[in-house]
Amino acid sequence: MAVSDHVDLNAFIEGVKKRNPGQPEFAQAVTEVAVDIYDFIADKEPYHKYQILRRIAEPDRVISFRVCWEDDGGNIRVQRGWRVQNNNSIGPYKGGIRFHPSVTESVLKFLAFEQTFKNALTGLPMGGGKGGANFNPKGKSANEVMRFCQSFMNELYRHIGADVDVPAGDIGVGGREIGYMFGQYKRLTNEFTGVLTGKGLEFGGSLIRTEATGYGAVYFLHEMLKHQGKDLVGLNAVISGSGNVATHAAEKINQLGGKVLTLSDSEGYIYDPDGITQDKVNFIKELKNVKRGRISEYVKEFKGAQFHGGGARPWSVPCDVALPCATQNELNEEEAKTLVKNGVIAVSEGANMPTTLEGTHVFKAAKVIFAPGKAANAGGVAVSGLEMSQNSARISWKEEELQRMLLDIMQGIHSRCLEYGSTAGGGYVDYVKGANIAGFKKVADAMLAYGVV
Ligand code: NDP
Ligand code: 2IT
């Protein structure tokens, strides 16, 4: 086929939208990747001939199932659960589980698609998957959460396995939920294997898995700044979210000499002009993980801080670096313009696809250093990969070794992004393009080796 006969980019994107009606998040994620890949494969016939991008953008399978559970009032509740197994060309499917009322098939397909590239970027042998349910853990008792997790696993267990598909946590799924799900898997199968990651340290979990995503996002930010001859000392950071990723990003910013001004949840954000220092981060971890409280409670404890409610987001607070660490599409075009106007120099996405397509264009046009989630937040799944290795070998590595491996992996991802995202003459680095192409190439070359399957 002559290059001119290839389906053009617009037709490809229109095709994705047509085949996936009502799935805007999935179409958004595929569009963002396709723009860069089309450029890269323009003169590479095998990728066209074997329809590689078209195949990566069609999940291997989407499993959906009913999840029934009984609430504390004795009422029967019905939720929908999914596992999207996007691509296992370079390793078992791997990716988190999200419990949030906004979960749909579109959201999980976008996440599984992104995960495929992210996992390839880590350099570890992991394919891409994602799962979840439209269950709202907020306000539920621990027993209700346990019953939900058990019921969810009653179906999921038949689709996963240490060499098949290895889920982990994501929004609404932390150590507690992984414990309940692992316990139910073990009960159903009578097997103790590394079928989930993010487990407790007593039953096969890895040191620093909890911290890894937030730490990794800051390591990546630091690498980008270093590449420009800068560091984090004395820089002001605005962070959204107050969960696993946000609190550990805040912790690492503090450790590297920066100052954290904000954190948020879906109700609003806190602004602390004195900085959200380590003792304050510890307070928030306890508030969120043990007391299951809200970020607004911070200002009762720390009087110098303000709470901005009504679902307000923190992007109007002037800063040097911004880390969106809550959820998808939480930073739009207008907010990106505000950040640029206020002098932001770098953005590192702790969350998955938190910046809208239009927002990323604003950052790129203003030459703001911008790390996409699939590169910046890969530290979490990378340490999950290390947890899988430890489980297979039935050993536990020491914290210093794991810290070193995490830093090494984040630096490796940075180098891979530079390889494909640098512009001639050493100017602005397009990390989005770099991550997309480096991630794609590894998966694509494995797929070529397999022929048409
Ligand atoms: P958590 O459940 O620990 O925290 C989520 C945080 O984001 C909470 O503060 C939550 O506020 C806020 N949030 C969630 N949904 C919304 C929403 N629709 N609008 C506003 N705020 C919202 O999740 P994580 O920290 O684990 O995940 C955060 C992001 O990082 C997600 O995009 C996830 O996919 C990504 N990620 C997570 C990894 C991990 O290892 N955990 C790895 C890589 C990426 P509230 O409590 O009000 O809902
Ligand atoms: O988005 C992600 O990378 C995660 N939620 C972590 C996945 C994992 O398998 O550790």
Domain topology for 61-194: Rossmann fold (3.40.50)
Instruction: Report CA(393)–ligand 1 centroid distance (Å).
Output: 31
Domain topology for 210-376: Rossmann fold (3.40.50)
Q: Which ligand is nearest to the CA of 171?
A: 1
Of all atoms in ligand 1, which is nearest to the CA of residue 174? 3
**Sign (positive/negative) of CA torsion 170, 172, 177, 182?**
negative
Q: Compute the average pLDDT of residues 171-189.
A: 98
User: Pairing between strand 268-271 and 259-265?
Assistant: antiparallel
Q: Compute the average pLDDT of residues 111-123.
A: 98
Of all atoms in ligand 2, which is nearest to the CA of residue 378? 3
Active-site choice (118, 130, 199, 433): 130
Instruction: Report CA(128)–ligand 2 centroid distance (Å).
Output: 10
Residue nearest to atom 29 of ligand 1 (CA): 351
Domain ranges of the chain: 1-58+434-453, 61-194, 210-376
Q: Which ligand is nearest to the CA of 212?
A: 1
Residue 425 has pLDDT above 80, yes or no: no
Q: Which ligand is nearest to the CA of 121?
A: 2
pLDDT value, residue 5:
52
Using CB distances shorter than 6 Å, the residues near ligand 1 are 100, 102, 169-172, 174, 213, 241-246, 265-267, 325-327, 350-352, 377, 380
Is the pTM for the entire model greater than 0.75? yes
pLDDT tens, residue by residue, 350-359: 999 999 999 9
130 has catalytic annotation? yes
Q: Compute the average pLDDT of residues 41-47.
A: 96
Domain 61-194 and domain 210-376 have a common topology: yes
Instruction: Report CA(17)–ligand 1 centroid distance (Å).
Output: 26
pLDDT value, residue 205:
98
